[in-house]
Amino acid sequence: MTAGYSQLTLERAKALRRSLTEQEKKLWGALRDRRLGGFKFRKQQPIGPFIADFVCQEQRLIVEVDGSQHASSETDVQRDGYLKGKGYRVLRVWNNDVTGNLSGVLTAVLAALSAPHPPTAAQWAPPSPLKGEGIDNGADFG
């Protein structure tokens, strides 16, 4: 296991990078090399047991390019829940939107990148102790 994902997941991600769909290729052309707002994206990036189509780690944003097989998919709901639990936001775009309205898709991605997002540390930090709780050094702070 490497960085939270299995060797099989890593091999699958490498294979997916070599065989992008036409819509993924089109979107990747607009996202790669910091072409969209200076944000760095990775393609077909393993996250735990899953592989995200495109990820901006800096903003913890995942962009998924979906076909009709993803409409009302319970598997996607569970997958998104896992990814959100890891501190990511998931933006799903349809294949036909990438094909016919790339500028609209890029506008939506930029909007998601610009939206406030809590820092990762804040999501995972334990709650602050109540006043005085957990500290017992004999001092009276009144």
Going from N- to C-terminal start, the domains of the chain cover 7-116
pTM for the full model? Answer: 0.73
Q: What span, in angstroms and rounded, lies between the C-alpha atoms of 140 and 124? A: 31
Q: Would the pLDDT of 120 be above 90? A: no
Number of Cα atoms under 13 Å in the Cβ half of residue 12: 13
Closest C-alpha to 54, from 43, 69, 46: 43
- Report, as an integer, the average pLDDT of 86-96: 94
Whether the per-residue pLDDT at 131 is higher than 60: the answer is no
3-state secondary structure of 4: coil
pLDDT tens digits, 51-77: 899 999 999 999 999 876 645 667 888
Check whether 137 has a pLDDT greater than 80.
no
pLDDT level of residue 115 (50, 70, 90 thresholds): confident
Query: 7-116 architecture in CATH?
Result: 3-Layer(aba) Sandwich (3.40)
